Structure 1
């Protein structure tokens, strides 16, 4: 079973949005898994084989022991009842306490649909008496993750106001190494100046500066956060 399940519309979204959080959680001894909803293909510079190879390399770079792909269609991801049941069944099987989902506002339809899908599946995963006519079957015992956190990997020029910023200074280089694994998407496929990775570093440095550290990762929630103690604050 997993402690934390990160749900990503495409391979590379988890690394971009919460690669640092994944590494920090694993440092704390939590079992973290990533569920990619689609293959991420087609893209202008990739292929199914290339993307699968890059994902495997990035998974190794993050030290993940659990990663699966739900096999939903790229570019036409929808929060249908059938897809909701598929995701709810993974949640019931792995029983994570926390879910990480994409931020709910995005220009990319797959990202917006992924958020709706995660929220619907979280609710469905706790249901009993699920053998209803006309609805997809659910397998396994009911389970309800206690928290959903939202990460920023958006295609809008937003000025986020996160609930908190996680200090990822000590794992920044490892996060960057995992993103570099997607060479077709961020290196050979994006020959810009400044480069995509330079801008990514600048964004992480901006969030780090906001909390007085070298690098940070913004995360938000829809629900209030409760603290039992204050000594974890930066």
Structure 2
């Protein structure tokens, strides 16, 4: 039983897009899980075995208690009926109140396919008279994190203060050495810090993470606003 489930097209997308939010939710006592849809391989410097070790290391840094992989194909991820049923079954079994999916506009086909798949599986999760395992369940909200390969000016619905969580998030990203350190000059990690600093500046904090949502955001109180 999860409070929040982060759906990532590849291992490392959850850390890049919302590692700070994962840490913040867990610190608040919420049960948070990550579901990687694919292995993320092949990549120039990775292997399936190496990516598994890196994912385990990143998960340990974040303190995740629940992380699984749906085993769908990297580079050819599609929102098919079969994949929709597989993902809906996870929703029915883990019953998260909130889902987190990639932003719906991106240059990476796996990312846009993942978001479409989450939207469709959320609807299917509530169906009755089906052979999917678990009882019908409908997650309350889908929030969208940014991990985009498209050069665009973002207009998020809200920015989360992750100043206290930044260094741990950054360490979880660096755990994916084959992706962000091997064969790179270090500028990628510097840009990540710059981006987090920029989003923090927009809300008057040191570091921030932007999020979006297709549905209106409802507030029960204003005391959580920065």
TM-score bin (small chain): over 0.9
Secondary structure at the counterpart of residue 170 of structure 1: coil
The runs of 5 or more residues in structure 2 that have no matched partner are none
- Out of 190, 196, 199, which is 2:191 matched to? 199
**1:128 offset after TM fit, Å?**
0.6
Residues 125, 143 of structure 1: 8 Å contact kept: yes
- Which runs of structure 2 are paired with 1:27-42 in the superposition (5 Å)? 27-42=27-42
Paired residue secondary structure (1:227): coil
1:64-103, Cα deviation, whole Å (9 max, x unpaired): 0000000000000000000000000000000000000000
1:223 paired to 2:198? no
Match runs of 1:6-155 below 5 Å: 6-130=6-130, 137-155=131-149
**What displacement does 1:55 show?**
0.3
SS in 1 for 2:219: coil
What is the alpha-carbon distance in structure 2 between the residues aligned to residue 189 and residue 51 of structure 1?
A: 16
Aligned length: 226
Q: CA deviation at 1:185?
A: 0.3
Q: Which runs of 5+ in 1 are unaligned?
A: 131-136
Does 2:160 correspond to 1:166? yes
Following the alignment from structure 1 to structure 2, what is the Cα–Cα distance between the partners of residues 160 and 120?
24
Partner-residue secondary structure (3-state), 2:120: helix
TM-score (norm 2): 0.99
Normalising by structure 1, we get a TM-score of 0.96
